[in-house]
Amino acid sequence: MLIFAVLSGFGLAFLAPPISQLGKQKSGWWLASLPIVLTVYFLTLLPGLKNGQIEAISYPWSQQLGLTFAFRADGLSVAFALLVSGIGALVAIYAGGYFGTKAPLGRFYLWLFFFMASMLGVVFADHLILLFIFWELTSLSSFMLIGFEHEREEARTAAIQALLVTGSGGLVMLAGFVLLGQIGGSWEISTLLLKGEPVRAHPLYLVVVVLILIGAFTKSAQFPFHFWLPNAMQAPTPVSTYLHAATMVKAGIYLLARLFPLLGGTSLWFWAVGGIGAVTMILGGVLALSQTDLKRLLAYSTISALGSLVLAIGIGTETALKAMVLFLLAHGLYKGALFLVSGAVDHESGTRDVRELGMLWRGMPFTAAGSSLAALSMAGVPFFFGFVAKEYLYEAAYNVGAFWVSLTILGALLNVFIAFRVGIAPFWLPAQAQTRLVQKVHEAPWSMRIGPLILGGLSFLIGILPQLFSQTLVSTALSAVAGKQVEVKLAAWHGVNDIFLLSLLTLGLGVGLFAVRRDIQRLAENLNPRWGLDGLYKRSLELLFAVAAFQTRLLQHGYLRYYLITIIVAVVAITGGGLWRWGGGTLPHLSWDLRFYELGIALIIIIAGGMATLSRSRLGAVAALGVAGYGVASIYLLFGAPDLAMTQFLIESLTVVLFVLAFYHLPHFARLTPRKERLRDVLIALVTGGLMTVFVFVASGIQIHPSISQYFVENSLPLAHGRNIVNVILVDFRGLDTLGEITVLAIAGIGVFALLKLRLDQRLPKAKKEGEGVARGGER
């Protein structure tokens, strides 16, 4: 069942276009059936996980390479899977109302469910390479989703940026995975997690951590790779909700949490992960202050929240990991709801500018209710889920030191400001600007309301009754991260203590900050740096394009002779350099006991080659080449290879005949190149020929592996029932190679035949007439 749960999304992805064609706007309800079923299935795993029953499945993939198709469902995987499938169902329903009939829904659902399945593969994969494959599939599908409105240049640019940043990080991470697999002696993640001490003591531990952190940081938009996430808001709102609030950006968080028992607990981990997390948390909040677009505000707050999660993993205490699990779930609920709300507001009002939005509750009461519940959870108001998570985050930082708790308070303070800015003010306060909305605001369709109401309602329900799932979901997830069994007991109220007072202080300061939001925004706009990392990325890309254009002009100029010179010189340089570095090699013993007819054949070949070079007649040059080819075939015949000789004779004869037929249609021969270029070509040819000769001599004297010829001698007759060894090799032992070569020749022959049958002089008048007809029609 687990493997079906992971892969079923791929099947649904390819069924989505015809289903959406039949169901139109209602197809989202039908397609949401699968993620709903998956959500229920993942919930049924929780009781077993509480009792230590971890579901796992493994199929051998490539035993020689140690690859297995392995999946494993522990508490951490199930927690992420619930976010992926649960919010995925709501997004599928929401998309039908959001797009209506204005977009190709089939294409959208195809990539949405492809992404969902890839994300489930990431969280359930129990093999490093398998995890990497699904990881990159999420990058690919997110590229298609961010660039869904590909007719807009901004969408294409944002999609390329997201793919370059996250895809490059994934490749770096792959190098870390390979090193980790070599150090740990296994590719199985569950096996590696038991080898924490030897891995952390290994000399390459630093390299492994850095490589894997780069992959995780790029995916989760951590500093200095955070710039791609706000730009990705060019995607439609359902994509922003699913990818950038609930799932894709949390893949890096998942990876850090998953590998914490293996790589965590060291000073390097604490400062690298915790430090970057803290910087990202503050930076995301500060950059949000100057934003006025709902989605960009939410994007920067997501960066800040992701920084908080990374900070908690970096601290790494049991309380910090507990805070991470709680904040992960709380953030998925309230941020998913707020993103859906932003899309509904934009859909109904025609703008996402928070300065132009106000008192929307009159026209959108249900959306206002969902938004308010989610915003209060985001702000950390008591008796909401966000408050419970924030309490533990404060406690974790409080136990580490004043510096860390100060940073955490600052991050939470900015979070309160953003929550009131995006979730409360547009619905309950008058608009800042006096701009009239372009259309009368009314409630969105039910398909767009149900998501915010459910997610906002859960944020409140879990806030007042956190104990309902503390023993199952939170305990099992925390046990998987901590690497040991941990019991969690949550409560909505822990009494008045230092942490509670810090929460109240943060809430009060955040509300005060919101009260002076106009001054804050003006100040933030003045402080907004002109040259950020986004600008550095763009200039790096421009430099890359300039280099690409330069090398294209240099190497792909359209002159065939220069292509050949480049290839030949490169081959000579590489082989000559390798031969020189190798010390020149050892020439084999050469026997000079030659017969007179062998010398005669060699002399004929040399003379024919010279005539082919110097001839001023094409026919003469081809005839000379044919003589040289016949000479080579004679050598084959003398040294006992009659099959090769026969083949060579036939090929040379056919080549000469074809050339003669082709030359009949060519203009007269003309010497177009000056003397200097011909001398250059002669020099290149002599150096190439001389080097190849030496190389062949050296190679013929090397025997790295035992010769395989004896195998063919012994097995040609018993295995292939053939006495001619060459024929048996061509037909049986390497039959597929021969088939490929024949196919290539057949395709080339068809191409030549098509060229010979082409009659441009007959087609041009017809095309000309058609073009003239079109032109006359256009004029009319």
Average pLDDT over every residue of 766-777: 50
Distance, in Å, from the CA atom of 765 to the CA atom of 159, rounded to the nearest integer, reads 45
The amino acid present at 608, given as its one-letter code, is A
pLDDT of residue 768: 55
Question: Which SS3 state, helix, strand or coil, does residue 74 take?
Answer: coil
Residue 98 and residue 145 in contact, taking contact as beta carbons nearer than 8 Å:
no
**pLDDT at position 780:** 35
> What's the DSSP call for residue 100?
T
Closest to 243 measured CA to CA, from 447, 426, 88: 88
pLDDT, one tens digit per residue, over 595-654 is 888 889 999 999 998 888 888 888 888 889 999 999 999 999 888 888 788 888 988 888
**In what helix (H) or strand (E) does residue 422 lie, and over which residues does it extend?**
none
Average pLDDT of the segment spanning 235-252: 86
Nearest to 426 by CA among 297, 316, 528, 334: 297
H-state helical runs in 664-734: 675-700, 709-720, 725-728
Tell me the torsion sign for CA atoms 487, 493, 497, 502: positive
- Which pair of tokens denotes residue 235? 């995607």
Chain centroid to CA 537: 18
- Exposure letters 399-410 (e unless 16+ CB within 10 A, then b): ebeeebbebbbb
How far apart CA 633 and CA 652 sit, in angstroms, is 9
Q: How far apart are CA 85 and CA 83, in angstroms?
A: 6
Whole-number Å distance between alpha carbons of 172 and 212 = 7
Q: What type of residue is 64? A: Q
Confidence of residue 249 (pLDDT cuts 50, 70, 90): confident
Q: Which two tokens stand for residue 273?
A: 């992960």
* Res. 191 pLDDT band, cuts 50 70 90: very high
Alpha helices in 585-665 (DSSP H): 596-614, 618-638, 642-663
Q: What is the DSSP letter of 430?
A: -
Q: How far apart are CA 233 and CA 303, in angstroms?
A: 13
CB 328 within 8 A of CB 123: no
Look at residue 67 and tell me whether its pLDDT is greater than 60: yes
Residue 589 CA to residue 261 CA, distance in Å, equals 61
How many CA atoms, within 13 angstroms, populate the side-chain half-sphere of residue 709? Answer: 3
Q: Mean pLDDT lowest for which of 115-129, 265-279, 504-518, 752-766?
A: 752-766
CA–CA gap between residue 500 and residue 175 (Å, rounded): 44
pLDDT at residue 293 tops 70: yes
**Residue scoring higher pLDDT (595 or 307):** 307
Collapsing DSSP to helix, strand or coil, 449 comes out as helix
Residue 633 carries which side chain, given as an amino acid letter? A
pLDDT of 770 strictly over 60: no
**Which of 26-30, 293-297, 751-755 is predicted with the least confidence, judged by mean pLDDT?**
751-755
pLDDT category at 434 given cuts 50, 70, 90 is low
Q: What is the C-alpha separation between 692 and 576, in angstroms, rounded? A: 9
pLDDT tens digits, 695-721: 888 877 777 778 888 888 888 888 888
pLDDT tens digit sequence for 376-388: 999 999 999 999 9
At 777 the pLDDT is 43
Residue 440 carries which side chain, given as an amino acid letter? K
Q: Which two tokens stand for residue 434?
A: 């006096």
Mean pLDDT of the residues in the chain: 88
Section 559-570 average pLDDT? 88
CB-based contacts of 597: which residues, under 8 Å, 6+ apart? 638
Average pLDDT over residues 563-576: 89
At CA 254, angle to CA 252 and CA 260, rounded to 5?
100
Whether the model clears a pTM of 0.85, i.e. scores above it, the answer is no
Given a contact cutoff of 8 angstroms between Cβ atoms, the answer to whether 335 and 249 are in contact is no
CA dist 649 and 731 (Å) reads: 21
Q: Give the residue ranges of DSSP H helices in 125-152.
A: 128-146
Task: Give the pLDDT band (50/70/90) at residue 188.
Answer: very high
68 beta partners: 60
Separation CA 35–CA 750 (nearest Å) = 50
CA distance 410 to 402: 12
pLDDT confidence of residue 439: 60
Structure tokens given for 671: 């010497």
3-state secondary structure of 590: coil
Q: Are 471 and 392 in contact (CB under 8 A)?
A: no
Give the phi and the psi of residue 226 in degrees, each rounded to 5: -75, -15
Following DSSP, what letter does each residue of 273-329 receive, concatenated? IIHHHHHHHHHHHHHHTT--BHHHHHHHHHHHHHHHHHHHHHH--HHHHHHHHHHHH
Which of the residue ranges 290-299, 455-464, 629-638, 642-651 would you say has the lowest mean pLDDT? 642-651
The C-alpha atoms of residue 605 and residue 689 are separated, in whole angstroms, by: 14
| Residue 585 binned pLDDT confidence (cut-offs 50, 70, 90) | low
Per-residue pLDDT tens over the stretch 324-375? 999 999 999 999 999 999 999 998 888 889 988 988 998 999 999 999 999 9
Per-residue pLDDT, 776: 47
- Give me the pLDDT at residue 438, please: 53
Q: CA gyration radius for the chain? A: 35
Run of H or E including 202:
none
Neighbours of 748 (CB within 10 A): 10
Q: How many C-beta atoms surround the C-beta of residue 715 within 10 A? A: 14
The predicted-structure confidence for 98-113, as pLDDT tens digits, reads as follows: 988 777 889 999 999 9
